[in-house]
Structure 1
Amino acid sequence: MTHSVPTVRPVDLRVEPVNQVLDRVERSLQVRLDSTSVVRKRRSVGAWTDRDTWVRVERRSLNKIGDQGWNGTESAALLEGLAQPAWLGCVVWRDTDGPVMWRADETEVLPGAPVGTAVLSADPVLPEEWWRAFNSSLDALSRNTTRRVATPDTVMITQHLVTESIRGTFSDEIDTSVERWVPAHADLNWANMSAPVFSLFDWEDWGNAPQGLDAATLWAASLAVPALADRVRRERRGDFESRDGKLMTLFACSKILGPDAYPEDPRIEPARHMARQVIAELQAD
Structure 2
Amino acid sequence: MVETTPAAPSRSRDLRKESVEEVLNRVEAGLGVVLDREAVARKRRSIGARSDRGTWVRIETRPLVKIVAQGQAANGMEAANLLDGIAKPAWYAALSWHDAQGEAVWRADEVELVTDAPLQRRAMREVSLSDAWWATLNASLDALSRQHTTRIATPDTETITQSLVTREIERAFPGRADTTITEEWVPAHADLNWANLTWPVCWIIDWEDHGMAPRGLDAANLWASSLGIPGLPERVWQERRGDLETRPGKLMALFYCAKIVNDSSVPGELREITTHEADALIADLQP
TM-score range relative to shorter protein: over 0.9
- 2:4 aligns with none
CA RMSD of aligned residues (A): 1.7
Report whether the alignment pairs 1:163 with 2:198: no
TM-score normalized by the length of structure 1: 0.93
1:23-172 equivalences under 5 Å are 23-66=25-68, 67-117=71-121, 122-172=125-175
For 1:263 and 1:49, how far apart are their aligned partners in 2?
36
Secondary structure of residue in 2 paired with 1:68: coil
How far apart are residue 171 of structure 1 and its match?
3.8
Report whether the alignment pairs 1:229 with 2:233: yes
Question: Which piece of structure 1 moves more, 60-69 or 184-193?
Answer: 60-69
Report whether the alignment pairs 1:188 with 2:200: no
- 2:3 aligns with none
How far apart are residue 200 of structure 1 and its match?
0.6
- 2:255 aligns with 251
Secondary structure of residue in 1 paired with 2:163: helix
For 1:7 and 1:264, how far apart are their aligned partners in 2?
26
Runs of 4+ in structure 1 off by over 3 angstroms are 5-9
How far apart are residue 265 of structure 1 and its match?
4.7
How far apart are residue 226 of structure 1 and its match?
2.6
Point out where structure 1 has 5 or more consecutive residues left out of the alignment.
none
For 1:180 and 1:137, how far apart are their aligned partners in 2?
20
Deviations 1:96-151 (A, max 9, x none): 4231111000000114110225x656242111111100000011110011111101
- 2:61 aligned partner, one-letter code: R
For 1:158 and 1:40, how far apart are their aligned partners in 2?
29
- 1:246 aligned partner, one-letter code: K
User: Percent identity of the aligned residues?
Assistant: 52
For 2:266 and 2:60, how far apart are their aligned partners in 1?
30
- 1:19 aligns with 21
- 1:186 aligned partner, one-letter code: A
TM-score normalized by the length of structure 2: 0.92
For 1:96 and 1:150, how far apart are their aligned partners in 2?
25
Deviations 1:143-179 (A, max 9, x none): 0111111011111011111112112211425221212
Secondary structure of residue in 1 paired with 2:192: coil
For 1:34 and 1:121, how far apart are their aligned partners in 2?
28
How far apart are residue 35 of structure 1 and its match?
1.3
